[in-house]
Amino acid sequence: MFIKSIDRWFCMKLEGAVAFVTGASSGIGRETALALARSGCKVAVGYNKGAAAASAVVKQCQLHAPTIKVKIDITSETSVKRALTLVRKFGAVSILINNAGILVEAPFAQQTFKQLQAQINVNLLGTMRVTHTFLTLLLVSNEAVIVNVGSVISKEPYVNLTAYCASKYGVRGFTQTLALELPSTIRVYCLNPGLTATAMTDFEGIRPSKVAEVIVRTVKETLRKTSGDDIDVPDYV
C-alpha cells in the first residue's frame, strides 16, 4: 500500500510531525490544518488576510495537537523568510502543504495585466518561493512530504481562466521536475481538486473537508503514488 523505492516502502508517520499549511484560514487549507491536527501533527497555520479566522482555526486545532499561527505573504521573500523563522521554533517541518491561491474568472482580454500577474505570482511563484525557502527545514527531517495544490484544470484548459490555468499547469510541471531533483527522503505530489465549495467558487462543489481527507491520505502516502505524481481528488471522493 505504500510508495516503494529500490529498497524500501515509504510511509509518513503523522504523530508528532510538524506540518505547515499555507492559506489555512479558510477553505481547503482550513480543513487540511484541522485534519492534520486530528491525525496528531503539530500544525503551523499560515495565513495572509483574515487573522481572526486563522485564530479560530488555531483554537480548533489546539484541541487535538500543538498549533501556532503564522502570518505569511507568499509573494514576499521577506515575509516567507520571517515565517520560516517562526516555524523553525516549532520544529523541523516534515509536511509542507502549498495551498494558498487566487483566481480571477474573466476572458483574458478583459483581465488587467496586474490581475494576470497576481495569479502567477501567488499560485506558481508563491508555491516555488515557499518551497525553496522551507527546503532548509525539510532537508533535515528524516522523511518529508510536500503537497502542491494544483487543480484538475492543471491538466485541461478552461475558458475564462487563462492565467489561473497557466499558473496551475506550472505548479504541475514544477512538482514533476522537483521530484526528479529531491533526495528520496522528500517526496512531492500535485494534488488536483475539482470544483470545491470555497469562497473562490462561490461555495459550489464538494465540501473542502473531502479534499482535506485526500490530502491527509497523500501525506500518509497510502495511495500507491510515486513522487512527482498527480493525485486527482475526484478519483478518491
Q: What is the DSSP letter of 206?
A: B
DSSP 208-222: HHHHHHHHHHHHHT-
Q: Can you read off the three cell numbers belonging to residue 198? A: 470555497
The label of the residue with cell 485564530 reads: 55
Q: In what helix (H) or strand (E) does residue 121 lie, and over which residues does it extend? A: none
Alpha carbon 83 to chain centroid distance? 15
Nearest alpha-carbon partner for 15 in 50, 35, 39: 39
The Cα–Cα gap between 70 and 221 comes to 26
164 annotated active-site: yes
The Cα–Cα gap between 45 and 32 comes to 10
Q: Exposure of 76 by Cβ count < 10 A (0-12 exposed, 13-18 middle, 19+ buried)?
A: middle
- Return the SS3 of 191: strand
Q: Which of 47, 164, 169, 189 is catalytic?
A: 164
- The phi and psi torsions of 72 (rounded to 5 degrees) equal -150, 135
Give yes or no for a contact between 79 and 54, defined as CB atoms under 8 angstroms apart. Answer: no
Active-site residue set = 164
